[in-house]
Amino acid sequence: MKKIALIILASLLTISCNTVKSITGSDKKEGVQYRDDFMAASDAEKKDLLQKLSAEGSNYSVIILTQNYKGQQIIITDTNKKRLYSEYAVTNLGTGIAATLRMDNRLNTTIRDNYTKEETIVEADDAQKHKFIYVKKNPGSKTPYTITYSNTLRPLE
């Protein structure tokens, strides 16, 4: 009887795992995450950042460059080839943030490391659904960047 119960339990777990996989999509893009399950900044900090970047409108999202930026020139452009950012980004080890900037979330946005020539694209379809887009560099990895789309602002200080 115990063996039958274990087999049924194992079958149910397998079915539920496969269901979760199909809901999240097996065609998930490498290096892309969708998360809101981390500690949020205060409403005042969120409001201040959005005002500082003039990103309050629904057609704007905020790109936050996070970890592993070590002085490489990072160039960020949109579909119209408008340069949004061109700096030698360095991650602040205390905050884990290298830079913040506003993007028009109706346009695809390309992030390029001018030294390694690695780039990634923040797709407009995803950006329009999320206010904050965290971009982490992954040096030496098959996936050079990890993009996390979120509607939660992490504390920046």
- Integer Cα distance of 88 and 18 in angstroms: 44
- For 64, 92, 93, 132, 156, the CA distances from 96, given in Å and listed in that order, are 10, 5, 5, 15, 8
State the pLDDT at residue 17: 39
Point out the least confidently predicted range of 30-39, 62-71, 92-101: 30-39
pLDDT at res. 53: 96
Is residue 50 scored above 90 in pLDDT?
Answer: yes
Q: What is the CATH number of the domain that holds 57?
A: 2.60.40
Q: In Å, how far are 16, 34, 36, 55, 138 from 120, measured between CA atoms?
A: 33, 16, 22, 22, 12
Find the domain containing 143 and state its range.
30-150
pLDDT category at 38 given cuts 50, 70, 90 is confident
User: Residues 122-144: what's their mean pLDDT?
Assistant: 94
The answer to whether residue 6 is domain-embedded is no
Residue 12, SS3 per DSSP: helix
For 138, the token pair is 């992954």
Q: φ, ψ for residue 17 (rounded to 5)? A: -65, -40
* 15 is a domain residue: no
Give the pLDDT score at 37: 77
In a domain, 4, yes or no: no
CA distance 121 to 32: 10
Is 42 a member of any domain?
yes
What is the rounded average pLDDT for all residues in the chain? 85
pLDDT of 28 reads 57
User: Total structural domains in the chain?
Assistant: 1
Question: Residue 127: inside a domain, yes or no?
Answer: yes
Q: Is residue 155 part of a domain?
A: no
Maximum pairwise Cα distance, the chain: 68
Binning pLDDT at 50, 70 and 90, where does residue 118 land? very high
Least confident span in 8-22, 84-98, 117-131: 8-22
Q: So what's the pLDDT on residue 33?
A: 84
The conformation of residue 110, written as its DSSP 8-state character, comes to E
Strands 119-122 and 109-113, how do they pair? antiparallel
